Structure formats: C-alpha cells, structure tokens
Amino acid sequence: PYNFFFSIVFKTIHTLKAVNFLLRDMENNHFFLISCGLSMRTVISDLITTEYLIFLSEDSNDGDSKLLESIEMQYYDHYNFRKKRMDVYDSLYGNDPEFLKIKKDFEEDGNRFLNSEGEIKSYLKQNKHIYGMVKSLAAKYKSEGKERLACAFECYDIFSMLEHFGEKTMPLISESA
C-alpha cells in the first residue's frame, strides 16, 4: 500500500504546485483557467479514490487485507484501461516483433489478477468508479463530511465537462473566457 499512497501524494503535490504556478498569473492569462480545472479534476479524483479506499478498509473487520484488495481493484481497473489501449496498438502495429514482445509482457502482467482457476478474482469485479465511490461515501457521512464531499464532487463534475467534450463544454468555456 505504501507505493500506492506515495504515488497519490507525489502526484497531488506536483499537480498542486503546477496549479499554484498557473494561478499566480491568472489575472494576466485567464486561459490558464482550463488547465487549472483539468488539473484539479485529477487531484479531486485521486483524493476521492483514496478516501474511498480508506473508508473500505475502516468499514471491514480485516482492514489491512481489505485495503490491499481495494488497491488491487484500482490496479486492475488501470490494467483494463491499458488493455483497451493495447487493443488499439494491436491494430496499429499488429505483427511487429517489438510490439508482440510488449503485448506478451502485458498479458503476463495481467495474470496477477487471476485466481488459481485462471478466472478474474471475484473481488476485482466489484470496482467502483468515481460516481459509485461518492455515493458510497455519501451514505456513510454525516452532514459535515457530506458537505465537504459535495463540494469536491461538484467541482469534479464541472471540471469533467471540460475533460469530456460534449454539449456542456462550450458554455463552460465561454463563461471562463
């Protein structure tokens, strides 16, 4: 778990340093606002994910084991994301020997998510994405924690409209221009 939490802290500190740099000159360069929003979305997502993983471990009789399973769920989710990318690379590079070696190594890496019968470990199928995490945390929290969570989620949601281009993106951009 130390590598996982170190990565979160490292990423958060460095992203916030970059946001701080951009905010210092926001008055002269208001176009930095979108970069700040996208960076803050990442920070909020990581913090909600971390809080959710801690919540799962605290809510269990076997906290350490549950925490390790929860972290593995995140790694499995990331592996699946990479697997989709690998499919695209497969269509681009096909039978290239160097790519085939990378693909083989990638597939072998995925074996760690399988049980002794060669199937995906059952607890890995329970992975929640940010929306499910927020709903689970909201059900747990009293008013103070829920207010903080609501504020974080509202910001995440607004910044997500910048990240995932759609019909709400342009009005958001024009408000910040």
- pLDDT, residue 126, reads 79
Instruction: Specify the DSSP element, H or E, that contains 49.
Output: helix 32-58
Single-letter residue type at 71: I
Q: Mean of the per-residue pLDDT values for the chain?
A: 89
Q: 48 near 17, Cβ under 8 Å? A: no
Where does the pLDDT of residue 175 fall: very low under 50, low under 70, confident under 90, or very high at 90 and above? confident
- Rounded Cα gap, residues 85 and 122, in angstroms: 24
Checking if the pLDDT of 63 tops 70, the result is: no
Where does the pLDDT of residue 95 fall: very low under 50, low under 70, confident under 90, or very high at 90 and above? very high
- Extract the tokens encoding 65: 């084991």
122 contacts: CB under 8 Å, gap ≥ 6 = 115
Q: What is the pLDDT of residues 104-141, one digit of tens each?
A: 999 999 999 999 999 999 988 876 789 999 999 999 88
Question: In the Cβ-directed half-sphere of 61, how many Cα atoms lie within 13 Å?
Answer: 0
Mean pLDDT of 144-157: 92
